[in-house]
Amino acid sequence: LIAFLLYLFYLVAPIGQLVQGFTQVQNGLAAVQRIREIEELPAEEADGAVYQVGRVPAGVVFEGVAFRYGDDRPVVHDDVSFEVPAGGLTALVGPSGAGKSTVFALLERFYEQRAGRIAIDGRDIADWPLAELRACLGYVEQDAPVLDGTLRENLVFAAPDVDEAAIRRVLARTRLEDLVSRLPEGLETRVGHRGIMLSGGERQRVAIARALLRSPRLLLLDEATSQLDAVNELRLREVIAEVAAETTVLVIAHRLSTVAGADRIVVMEAGRVRAVGTHGELLADDALYRELATTQFLLPT
Ligand code: ATP
């Protein structure tokens, strides 16, 4: 029923116009719509859309980017410049409202910056055909929803043509094999609202698996804020490290274990880049980062 309602709302209601007070529904809808918009691309546009190891990772550059959501809205980004090298793990951190999610929205071209340049592989994203741009991006939202349906449906939702071998590779990559073998009907087990409930850690890995099945060259990951037990924390860290070994990962990080393993960390504050460095460098040099590390990031490494 929930899936049906979501679908109905998705059909009839532009997300931005949903009434306030339905925040819960709205968040679910926004998530579903975003997954669809980004991931529901024709297979040929998504470069085969089959999980391939070794697609060339993408590099990203922000140069003097300025942005606000509307003329009457406060400035979100002011002269934001940073680089995400091709391959490896780059973490975005900063207090709430610093503009981290907006970096993702600009990269996905849901909005256009007011000034400055955003380039992927040296090419201004404004010049990319939208389908091509989104075919090279994978997006995993915070506390990703599991849709009402089988685990398989949840995985292949955005890449229906993937073969069994690709699914198996992704299950291994995301440490979901144990879950599949535990479920009574394996991949065909119904999960989500009307089926078996998955833990927060499993949900996030299912969302990562769903994104990986499209072989993104740049994975945008908004890390879940839900607490994870030690095993799930370790698994997530391993999965992110392995994915970052073969593609570029830009993560809005909420976990100490993620930032500690990042190749570089971009610290944002009030719409500006405040510092860039490794965990060790920033702990030594940046007071805000030190504060975030001790008060906001979840769980020790
Ligand atoms: P958080 O960690 O809380 O998600 P953030 O660092 O990701 O914060 P953003 O979500 O990018 O920050 O928000 C930056 C600013 O832009 C905030 O003041 C926020 O209220 C505003 N903002 C975000 N999305 C929109 C939107 N769709 N329309 C208008 N303002 C928005």
pLDDT in tens, 11-31: 444 333 333 334 444 555 555
Contact between residue 243 and residue 160 where contact means Cβ atoms under 8 Å apart: no
The one catalytic residue among 223, 233, 246, 269: 223
Residue carrying the six token digits 């994975």? 219
List the residue whose alpha carbon is closest to atom 28 of ligand 1.
Answer: 69
Write the residue with the smallest CA distance to atom 17 of ligand 1: 97
pLDDT tens digits for range 144-184 = 889 899 999 999 988 888 999 999 999 999 999 999 999 99
For residue 257, give the 3-state DSSP assignment: helix
DSSP output for 34-46: HHHHHH---TTTT
In the reported structure, the alpha carbon of residue 196 is separated from the centroid of ligand 1 by a whole-number distance in angstroms of 33
List ligand 1's pocket residues with C-beta within 6 A.
Answer: 69, 73, 76, 94, 96-102
Q: 83 an active-site residue?
A: no
Residue 100 alpha carbon to ligand 1 centre in Å: 8
Residue 234, token pair as written in the block:
């370790």
Q: Around Cβ 16, how many Cβ atoms within 10 Å?
A: 7
Assign 294 a pLDDT band (cuts: 50, 70, 90). Answer: confident
Q: How far apart are CA 267 and CA 269, in angstroms?
A: 7
pLDDT in tens, 85-121: 999 999 999 999 999 999 999 999 999 999 999 999 9
Q: Which residues touch 214 (CB under 8 Å, ≥6 apart)?
A: 39, 41, 46, 49, 51, 135, 138, 158, 159
Read off the pLDDT of residues 208-252 as tens digits, 9 standing for 90 and up.
999 999 999 999 999 987 778 888 888 889 999 999 999 999 999
**The pLDDT value given to residue 1:** 52
- The SS3 assignment for 114 reads coil
Is the confidence at residue 33, as pLDDT, over 70? no
Which residue bears the tokens 């593609």? 247
